[in-house]
Amino acid sequence: MPDWLFKIADIALTLFLVYLVLFVVRDRVAVRLMRGFLLLVLAHQLAALYGLPYLSALLDKLILVSAVGIATLYQSQVRRILEKLGRGEFIDLLTPSEARGINPENEVLDRIVDSVKDLSQSRTGALILIETTSTPIDQKDFLRPGVPIDAEVSKELLKSIFYDKNPLHDGAVLIRDTRVIAARILFHLSEKTGFRQLGTRHLAARSVTAQLDNCVCVIVSEETGSISLAKRGELNRPLTSSELRELLADYFKSGDRESVTTSLSDFSRRLKSQGKDLLTSLAHLKLPFIKKD
């Protein structure tokens, strides 16, 4: 087989692996990161091809640092990929996470909103993290996983957890489906400049929703009693209890999770188009690494 076919196969397998990682991570930021990473790899190959040793060496180190940075940023997803590969669950890697969360017609949503309304009126600080997909949040992603609760969501339970004399009030609660999974959870706080002007609860909410793509976070300010909703690192505030319910209901009803499916489809179409252009160019240009028999 001609050497240039091996080169093309190498490129195709690399792109496939990149696409697989993006499919598993399913994060919009990851799409942009991998695009930048691929550009670095391409620039490195071109520098090596045209005999630019210093630039090639610099890009080589930059690629290594970038790979470590991406792996650190998405350590939970990387861990999940490696675990599934280790168990031989290759099909599961290509199975998208099903949308899940609170049924907007279910009274659980009313219980959450009613408790938030009461907490707001009494100016009791609260932080409620709600999962939105069938893939559960790995509590190893938290600074402290908190105290297991595993109880049905109720207005009384949420109000009692955040009562300032309750030892569990300091931190967040995690809601999965219709159950409170844990309380007194602590999140890693972001160092982003735009986040530093926020209070601790709002900072924690923006940080965790910026890090994790499958959740939303409801915040009640202890100082003002204002209600906020964080999603993908963005805050929507101040909200009334009715506005909060409408946002949550619309979110879970419409599945408005800004999935990266469109981004991935667009990414794959571009790769396909650019791949065809590359093959066409290789067929007409006599590049150094192509040796015809």
Does residue 120 sit in the same domain as residue 32?
A: no
**Per-residue model confidence (pLDDT) at position 187:** 92
**Per-residue model confidence (pLDDT) at position 158:** 96
What residue numbers bound the domain in which 210 lies? 107-254
**Per-residue model confidence (pLDDT) at position 283:** 55
Does residue 53 sit in the same domain as residue 177?
A: no
Q: At what angle do helices 75-87 and 3-25 cross, to 10 degrees?
A: 110
Contact 228, 235 (CB under 8 A): yes
Distance CA 131, CA 139 (A): 12
Does residue 248 sit in the same domain as residue 268?
A: no
Contact 239, 205 (CB under 8 A): no
Does residue 171 sit in the same domain as residue 63?
A: no
Does residue 11 sit in the same domain as residue 149?
A: no
Does residue 293 fall inside a structural domain?
A: no
Does residue 291 fall inside a structural domain?
A: no
Does residue 203 sit in the same domain as residue 89?
A: no
Torsion of CA 238, 252, 155, 178, to 10 degrees: -150
Does residue 66 sit in the same domain as residue 157?
A: no
Q: Amino acid identity of 175? A: I
Does residue 180 fall inside a structural domain?
A: yes
Does residue 248 sit in the same domain as residue 210?
A: yes
Does residue 246 sit in the same domain as residue 265?
A: no
Does residue 268 fall inside a structural domain?
A: yes
CA angle 162, 165, 169 (to 5 degrees): 30
Chunked mean pLDDT (size 10), the chain, 293 residues:
75 73 62 79 87 90 86 72 73 56 70 95 95 77 90 95 92 92 91 67 91 88 94 90 89 53 49 55 49 46
Q: At what angle do helices 3-25 and 261-284 cross, to 10 degrees?
A: 170
Does residue 143 fall inside a structural domain?
A: yes
Domain count for the chain: 2
Does residue 101 fall inside a structural domain?
A: no
Does residue 70 sit in the same domain as residue 209?
A: no
**Per-residue model confidence (pLDDT) at position 264:** 47
Contact 185, 146 (CB under 8 A): yes
**Per-residue model confidence (pLDDT) at position 101:** 54
* CATH number of the domain enclosing 120: 3.40.1700.10
**Per-residue model confidence (pLDDT) at position 114:** 95
Contact 218, 112 (CB under 8 A): yes
Does residue 79 sit in the same domain as residue 202?
A: no
Distance CA 271, CA 12 (A): 10
**Per-residue model confidence (pLDDT) at position 292:** 45
Does residue 67 fall inside a structural domain?
A: yes
DSSP string, 41-91: HHHHHHHHHTT-HHHHHHHHHHHHHHHHHHHHHTHHHHHHHHHHHHHT-HH
pTM above 0.95, yes or no: no
Does residue 20 sit in the same domain as residue 136?
A: no
Does residue 292 fall inside a structural domain?
A: no
Q: Amino acid identity of 281? A: S
**Per-residue model confidence (pLDDT) at position 178:** 87
Contact 215, 209 (CB under 8 A): yes
Joined tokens for residue 203: 């900072």
